[in-house]
Structure 1
Amino acid sequence: MTPWRLIPLLNAPGSVQMAIDRWLLQQHRQGKQPPILRFYTWEPAAISLGYHQRRYPDFWKNLTWEDKKLEIVRRPTGGRAVLHQGDLTYAIIASGFSKTKTLAYEQICTFLLQGWRSLGVELHYGTSGRGYIRHPSCFSTATAADLVTKESYKLIGSAQLRQGTALLQHGSMRLSPNLELFERVFGEPIQAVQFPFSHKDAIPLIVETLTQAARHCFAAEFTTQPLSEAEWEAIRENQ
């Protein structure tokens, strides 16, 4: 078994979440952190842009949700824009995966496939090519880095950043998006999806199930450890 750190579910602004992921990747690369798994949600709702995504509609700057302005945040990873509302994000910071990007995705996504299968949801990889670059929304197409249901609902969109042998892969799991807000942001409709479990306790159930799947897939021995005050201070300094 390999020692891993499990950071408990954290709800925070998107700018904070991205700063955490960047800092943890730097720390892991320097050998100061073991492999890490964490789950988080975004408050307030936000739109995250891929690292290289420079163009987006001007009206996004003035969007609100539940009387709060939607944050626009840049991810350290690639891909297109993601609306973070009604979703759950996972992040893995680790080393030892394939040097080939596609194979590394497949190695990491194994725990997502297995975990969601345990929840009664069969997923498979998307098949779209690089046509995704013409769409502002990450969820408009499903590439080989994405996981979709048998009804072609794109449930998980993932992105990756590699620094040396260390990598960060994080992804949004689209659980209960507001259909009107999604259409307002991206100008296209989104279908609703029904899961074979109650929405009431969905996030704790999903987190626990995916953690168990990660334990099996990565031969991980998890130690649950929240971010310390010293770590929060270092993250704020690098934000």
Structure 2
Amino acid sequence: MAIDRWLWKQHQQGNLPPILRFYTWNPVAISLGYHQKRWPQVWQDLQWEGKPVELVRRPTGGRGVLHQGDLTYAVVYSGRFANRVAAYEQICEFLIRGWRSLGFELHYGSAGRGYAQVPNCFATATGADLVLESGYKLIGSAQVWQGSTVLQHGSMRLKPDRQLWHQVFSESIPEPPPSLADLNLSSLVETFTQAACATFDMELEVQPLSEQEWEEMRAPSPIKKQCRLK
């Protein structure tokens, strides 16, 4: 989350081009929406596989997201959009295209504003989220804006642990398609990278963060893959 926020700020200042990033989580964590003020007390003391489940704050809105068995994406971009819904639809197009190439058809959710009273982001699907035809919410996304610059990131729910999910949210997770568990993360990243290039008619250049950039962020651990637009 700190890396996403730093990249967004650097892009605002003209120091970095638009960015596409993919990452996973270690240790397992719950990210809280920027304005989320309430969450279950039990989240403070959760453990999974002998390690504490971390609580982190996102720079974007929304509710709690459990980051276990998921792939997270982040897009930093500047542009003109008719409105925020149009921005979601334009940015999410590469995800829809990528998943379609893998045989999964996605459509947007339709939940109303009452979702804000629920601490679990994946309990409902709004117009910012992508759902399979079965109703399974595959991707939850959120945004933060500064002028015409947006950070949009989201979680793709691939292999959730059902026991941990129930422990966190006190509810059962809908059954994911079995084929999701067979997907390889490296292949997924390559699929979405190619989909982004085709969707936005661009080329991507992979660049790791420099030591100086790491020092500026004071990040606890390095990211493994960094993609930036030329």
The Cα shift of 1:99 comes to 5.1
Gaps of 5+ in 2: 220-230
- Look up the match of 2:139: 156
1:135-176 Cα shifts (integer Å, max 9, x gaps): 110000000000000000000000000111111000000000
Q: State whether structure 2 residue 114 is matched by structure 1 residue 104.
A: no
CA contact (8 A) 2:77 2:151 kept: yes
CA contact (8 A) 2:100 2:106 kept: yes
Q: Percent identity?
A: 60
Gaps of 5+ in 1: 1-17
- Look up the match of 1:146: 129
The Cα shift of 1:57 comes to 1.0
The Cα shift of 1:202 comes to 1.6
Aligned residues: 219
The Cα shift of 1:192 comes to 2.6
The Cα shift of 1:194 comes to 2.3
The two structures have a TM-score, normalised by structure 2, of 0.92
The two structures have a TM-score, normalised by structure 1, of 0.89
- Look up the match of 1:225: 207
SS of corresponding position for 1:42: coil
CA contact (8 A) 2:46 2:53 kept: yes
**How far apart, CA to CA, are the structure 1 residues paired with 2:94 and 2:42?**
37
**How far apart, CA to CA, are the structure 1 residues paired with 2:184 and 2:110?**
28
CA contact (8 A) 2:131 2:137 kept: yes
- Look up the match of 1:11: none
CA contact (8 A) 1:49 1:80 kept: yes
**How far apart, CA to CA, are the structure 1 residues paired with 2:105 and 2:62?**
24
Runs of 4+ in 1 over 3 A off after TM superposition: 195-198
In terms of fraction of residues, the more strand-rich structure is 1
The Cα shift of 1:129 comes to 0.8
- Look up the match of 1:68: 51
SS of corresponding position for 2:203: strand
- Decide whether aligned partners of structure 1 residues 86 and 165 sit closer, same or farther in structure 2, where only a CA change above 3 A counts: same
The Cα shift of 1:191 comes to 2.1
Aligned partner of 2:172 among 167, 189, 200: 189
